[in-house]
Amino acid sequence: MANISTANSRASSEKPLAGGVALVTGGGRGIGKAIAERLAKLGAAVCICGRTEESLRGTAQELRAFGARVHAHTADVTRAGDIALLVDAAEKELGPITILVNNAGIGGFGPVHEKSEEDWDRVLNTNLKSVFLVSRAVAPSMIRRGGGDIINISSLAGKNTFAGGGIYCASKWGLQGLTGCMAEDLRGYGIRVSVICPGSVATEFSGGGAKDPKKVLTAEDVAHAVGMVAVQGPRSFISEVQLRPVKKP
């Protein structure tokens, strides 16, 4: 019996999220893909969503290659109707969502006076409205079950300002406030709402042009932070993580 107990304990420590179901928005590439991989390796079943079917399909194949249960779903997370179909499909395929990672995001840089109303709507809808819509769709089930994790991917741009960052910073500053209020609204139900604020990350998405790859974060760095938050102790609450490269850009 001791050997069986030891083996079970080892399996639990290697796959601490076994039995959980994670939904990662913008999960087909970049940071979202790395997050999906990290959560799958920690044992969670993973639903990834995004607008590009081809990238979702490729990421799903990679996740399945190391034994993960995966559902890939094409959706526009700025549309409530798409989100309702997404959540329904994810829960039918994998089970109740226990971890939501609101990762979908886009840039939109340049002086505010040179930007259009369409630019504003595109960035704010993707970076902020989508978090409201997806969280609203997932939270009731978490409330009924008495727990869950909602992890929002923000940016250090949500705490700082810079030239040309007006619209993007507005979306991320808004996300900081939304996250904090959601945390207070939901903590009484056992639901932890956290925000991760990375600095510059080496992906195809970049607001400041080419950067020295040795002085920026990787998508895997952000994924590691998400994993850390997802496996925190049951009575702890990491509300915010600020993530910076060791070497200053």
What is the per-residue pLDDT for 213?
76
What is the per-residue pLDDT for 234?
86
Helices and strands in the chain: count of H runs, count of E runs = 8, 7
The answer to whether the beta carbons of residues 49 and 102 sit under 8 Å apart is: no
189 is known as an active-site residue: no
| pLDDT tens per residue, range 184-238 | 999 999 999 999 999 999 876 555 555 677 789 999 999 999 999 999 988 889 9
What is the per-residue pLDDT for 214?
77
The residue from 49, 60, 168, 171 that is catalytic is 168
The proportion of the chain whose per-residue pLDDT surpasses 90, expressed as a percent, equals: 85
What is the per-residue pLDDT for 229?
97
Average pLDDT over residues 121-136: 98
What is the per-residue pLDDT for 12?
63
Q: What is the DSSP letter of 108?
A: -
Q: Which helix (H) or strand (E) holds 193?
A: strand 191-198
End-to-end CA distance of the chain: 54
pLDDT over 80 at 170, yes or no: yes
Least confident of 29-43, 124-138, 232-246: 232-246
Q: What is the pTM of this model?
A: 0.92
**Mean pLDDT, all residues of the chain:** 92
What is the per-residue pLDDT for 141?
98
Average pLDDT over residues 3-20: 67
What is the per-residue pLDDT for 168?
97
- Separation between Cα atoms, residue 88 and residue 54, nearest integer Å: 22
What is the per-residue pLDDT for 8?
47
Instruction: For helices 166-186 and 117-124, give the axis angle rounded to 10 degrees.
Output: 30
- Identify the CATH number of the domain defined by range 22-243: 3.40.50.720
What is the per-residue pLDDT for 3?
47
- Separation between Cα atoms, residue 196 and residue 39, nearest integer Å: 15
Q: Domain ranges in the chain?
A: 22-243
